[in-house]
Amino acid sequence: MTERAPLSRKLSAIAESATLKVDAKAKALQADGRPVISYAAGEPDFATPAFVVDAAAEALRDPANFRYTPAAGLPVLREAIAAKTLRDSGLEVEPTQVIVTNGGKQAVYQAFQTVVNPGDEVLLPAPYWTTYPEAIALADGVPVEVFAGADQEYKVTVDQLEAARTDRTTVLVFVSPSNPTGAVYTAEETRAIGEWALAHGIWVVTDEIYQNLVYAGARAISIVEAVPELAGQTLLVNGVAKTYAMTGWRVGWMVGPKDAVKLAQNLQSHLSSNVNNIAQRAALAALTGPQTEAEGFRLAFDRRRSLIIDELSKIDGITVPSPGGAFYVYPDVNGLLGREWAGKTPTTSLELADLILDEAEVAVVPGEAFGPSGYLRMSYALGDDALLEGVRRLQRLFA
């Protein structure tokens, strides 16, 4: 008998999402009755606003929503996204420059498919969201990490980017506020990076899904607002998941030049066609309806941000830069490595995360998922009581 042909080598090289893996493990332990507190998932614990749910319920009564609709998205939703892009990113676009996707993650995937050719190098500031390098690899690109540590507040500089640039560099990933660090680039820092990319003809893929979750007077200025001339070589990725507590609704989008969006639209027409119409109607309500509840979410995140920074900072061996946005802290835990805790001596943040789960029943994501070892990502998008209890368990473990 002839041996079966092999599976895809490209897909075999792709790693499972580390954040989802840790979250799934935590939920499995919780289902078994263990009192695990998880800081793993980047998911608001709030319910989706009721008026958004009502809009979805109303959409269920319209038979037009039971049919295929344009692959690029409902025209009325694309108009609303164009309006949001002008309001929050300072970029005036036509609805034809918008494509609605199944969550921000599909937008990220399609963005790289649109602007990356085989062998192209993509500059990837680290720490980075775990999906970026895999999505780049799926587009046959080569991710090139550019690391900025806690001493730089996890923000790369133009000098670092220039040092990493080669004649094969065609794309830069720019994320502010950042997942996993919560770092927010200043207007001056953003402008400098945008002008550098413009000067070298480099595409920018900018993930703005956390742009409305900023604190302490910070503003996440879009790179196309800082450098308007860059709009012709920038793809903006966004969605309703984080701001409106709509992670499960799966509605994101990509905005960019018409020729690039046309390519992404062609891809989506074969890949998935239109996004669920009921979810699109819900997203439309979220973007055009009252923003009171979304602002309440942001204020709650800000309160939790202050709490987790204060409490983590009490642990000797942990350094916690103050994040300006998103809902993550990214403590530097190198001071805990190489020391004995509960009879074990972790030497990497991966080993430290395993120790924390085993001994304190707290789930965190190790820095290896986002770049170099020596860090942990902790989401503070969970209830206040659980957030405080989890950190106190860490305080007891590392006392």
**Complete DSSP assignment for 243-267:** TTT-GGG--EEEE--HHHHHHHHHH
pLDDT band for position 177 (cuts 50, 70, 90): very high
Strands 252-255 and 365-366: unpaired
Distance CA 317, CA 331 (A): 10
For the CA atoms of 173, 176, 177, 178, the dihedral, rounded to the nearest 10 degrees, stands at 30
The arithmetic mean of pLDDT across residues 125-139, rounded, is: 96
Distance CA 145, CA 156 (A): 11
CB atoms within 10 A of CB 35: 11
CA neighbor of 332 nearest in space, from 303, 304, 371: 371
The arithmetic mean of pLDDT across residues 37-63, rounded, is: 95
Distance CA 64, CA 54 (A): 17
Q: Residue 148: is its pLDDT beyond 80?
A: yes
Q: Residue 20: is its pLDDT beyond 90?
A: no
| pTM of structure | 0.94
pLDDT band for position 52 (cuts 50, 70, 90): very high
Q: Residue 19: is its pLDDT beyond 80?
A: no
pLDDT band for position 394 (cuts 50, 70, 90): very high
Average pLDDT, the chain: 95
pLDDT band for position 24 (cuts 50, 70, 90): confident
- The contacts of residue 41 (CB under 8 Å, 6+ apart) are 19, 20, 23, 379, 381
The lowest-confidence range among 26-40, 102-116, 320-334 is 26-40
Position with higher pLDDT, 49 vs 41? 49
pLDDT band for position 33 (cuts 50, 70, 90): confident
**Can you say how many angstroms the Cα of residue 198 is from the centroid of all Cα atoms in its chain?**
24
Contact between residue 161 and residue 215 where contact means Cβ atoms under 8 Å apart: no
Q: What is the pLDDT of residues 246-302, one digit of tens each?
A: 999 999 999 999 999 999 999 999 999 999 999 999 999 999 999 999 999 999 999
Q: Residue 185: is its pLDDT beyond 90?
A: yes
The arithmetic mean of pLDDT across residues 96-118, rounded, is: 98
Q: Based on DSSP, count helices (H) and strands (E) in the chain, helices before strands.
A: 14, 12
pLDDT of residue 260: 98
- The contacts of residue 158 (CB under 8 Å, 6+ apart) are 192, 193, 196
Backbone torsions φ then ψ of 47, nearest 5 degrees? -75, 145
pLDDT of residue 31: 85
Q: What is the pLDDT of residues 197-219, one digit of tens each?
A: 999 999 999 999 999 999 999 99
pLDDT of residue 18: 73
pLDDT band for position 22 (cuts 50, 70, 90): confident
Contact between residue 58 and residue 169 where contact means Cβ atoms under 8 Å apart: no
